[in-house]
Amino acid sequence: MSFDGVQDNGRQFLDLGGKRRTKWWHGLSSATIFATGMLAKGFASLMLKDVEVSNLDILQEAQERCRIEKRGLITIMNHMSLLDDPFVWAILPTKNFTSPDQIRWSLGADNVLFFNEFLASFFSLGQVLSTKRFGEGPFQGSIDASIALLSGYNTQQLQDPRTNLPQKYWIKRGAEASDLQASFKTNWVHIFPEGFVHQVYPPHRYTLRYFHWGASRLLLEATKPPIIVPIYAYGFDNVIPEDKQDDYSLWGQRNKATLRVKVGQPIDDGQVASFRQRWADLVEEEEEKKRINGGAKKIVDVSSSSSLTDKNVIPLRHGNMPEELKTGTRAQKLRSEVALFLRSALDSVRESMGLPREKLDFGNPAFWDPETGGCKDVPVMGDVNKLEVHKLKDFFHLLEDEVTPPSVTGGSAVRGTAGSVSSCK
């Protein structure tokens, strides 16, 4: 369940100030996706010793099921290296790169992937959404955009709003639920819920950090319940280790690393429905408060229509999300539970690959508090982002003074320098 204000914000974010409405955008996007997919396959062939993939058919079946059931697809994956996306998608068949509909939307750090106009255009064409980290939180444009995508929004029809009316208009006009079904476009959103690269030294190597609330919002607020598939991968960390000063000397690492990827079973629909019902109850409570105060109008509930077979479809609520649903104790507790549940699902895939069970409470955000948490005993490779001399500048052969890095203060400060060992990132 979402609010029309949230989805309006998401659609505006996707619009990129009108760029996606230009005639050339779709063609350039298709070309960018295909070229990047071929680059990923070439990289895997030339640079990696081997690629081992388990259960790719599960992901392909989930994609097909989403199309048939008209639902969105979420894939969640650990973040082991800056190479993860797009290079992990070398595992996909070439046909996936021939159409934007066959490939994921992803969220990328604005200070890493969008720090100049060329890269911002390139990654936007490649279906990456600019995401602010270090204090911005889960209530931002990229998350709202992901919710809109998972709710069936079709970016390719932006040129003609008559063929892509926002769902709030259907609901206001009492349109048949079959109209909602027919207009639904299946989109795939891929996320790294840890928020940034996580590399630690043995004996804690290949563990997971805690998951952020943005992942919880996608599960709870999409208009229809998404299918969620966990994916665990490792190997790129051997190509670009975070504790190496020259970790972009890729050619020197060729044929030394094996990429291992395992796709887990889709997360149980019943559990997803349970979380979504609890969210719907919280939303209804807030709506009832508005109605009592004369500030809300009862709207048509399309989920009651006899023509709609999926009773989990919940209509949009008018306006923006109330503050209580952002910062209220019960809403925050629910998001934390969902995040921990998603992390547990991915951790099960990790353990099924023969990796050791975690001994510490890595899934608890309090564990990573630099002052009071237990993370001081977990040596982390390198630092968070190397913002002052970010590696991508060298990777794209950019001059040091071309970019003024964003300032980072307080709890988001960069700790350590390239090649150092730090804790509590």
- Local confidence band at 372 (pLDDT 50, 70, 90 cut-offs): confident
- The arithmetic mean of pLDDT across residues 293-302, rounded, is 48
Is 337 contained in some domain? no
Q: Does residue 354 or residue 418 have the better pLDDT?
A: 354
Q: Is the pLDDT of residue 407 over 60?
A: no
| pTM as predicted | 0.83
Reduced to 3 states (helix: H, G, I; strand: E, B; else coil), residue 4 is helix
> Is 301 domain-assigned?
no
Residue where the block lists tokens 């805690």: 210
**Number of domains the chain contains:** 1
- Give the distance from CA 81 to its chain's centroid: 15
Spatial separation of the C-alpha atoms in residues 329 and 323, rounded to whole Å = 11
CB 226 within 8 A of CB 23: no
Residue 76 lies in a domain: yes
Which residue type sits at 230?
Answer: P
Q: How far apart are CA 70 and CA 394, in angstroms?
A: 43
In this structure, the chain runs to a length of: 425
Give pLDDT, residue 244. 74
**pLDDT tier at 208 (50, 70, 90 boundaries)?**
very high
- Tell me the percentage of the chain whose pLDDT exceeds 90: 59
Q: Are 2 and 223 in contact (CB under 8 A)?
A: yes
Distance from C-alpha of 343 to C-alpha of 362, rounded to nearest angstrom: 10
374 found inside a domain: no
Q: Which residues make beta-bridge pairs with 422?
A: 380
Taking alpha carbons only, the member of 211, 260, 262 closest to residue 237 is 260
Copy the structure tokens of residue 280: 């719907």
Instruction: Report phi then psi at 103, rounded to 5.
Output: -125, 165
Task: Report yes or no on 240 lying in a domain.
Answer: yes
CB 232 within 8 A of CB 75: no
413 in a domain, yes or no? no
Q: For tokens 């609890």, what's the residue? A: 278
Helix/strand/coil percent split, the chain, to 5: 50, 10, 40
Closest CA to 349 of 76, 86, 74, 48: 76
Asked if the peptide bond before residue 202 counts as cis, ω within 30 degrees of 0, the response is no
Residues pairing with 260 in the sheet:
52, 234
> Domain containing 107 — which CATH number?
3.40.1130
Contacts of 424 (CB under 8 A, 6+ apart): 368, 369, 370, 373, 375, 376, 378, 380, 415
Q: pLDDT averaged over the chain? A: 81
Indicate the helix (H) or strand (E) that contains 290. Answer: helix 269-292
What torsion, rounded to 10 degrees, do the Cα atoms 56, 212, 108, 243 define? -90
Per the domain annotation, does 394 fall within a domain?
A: no
Helix (H/G/I), strand (E/B), else coil: 129: strand
Range of the domain at 186: 4-274
Token pair belonging to 396: 């794209």
User: 3-state SS string over 39-67?
Assistant: HHHHHHHHHCCEEEEECHHHHHHHHHHHH
Which phi and psi (to 5°) does residue 282 adopt? -65, -40
Q: Model confidence over 85-133: pLDDT tens digits? A: 999 999 999 999 999 999 999 999 999 999 999 999 999 999 999 999 8
Dihedral sign, CA of 171, 173, 175, 180?
negative
CA 149 to CA 184: how far, in whole Å? 10
The reply to whether 330 falls in a domain is: no
pLDDT at 378: 85
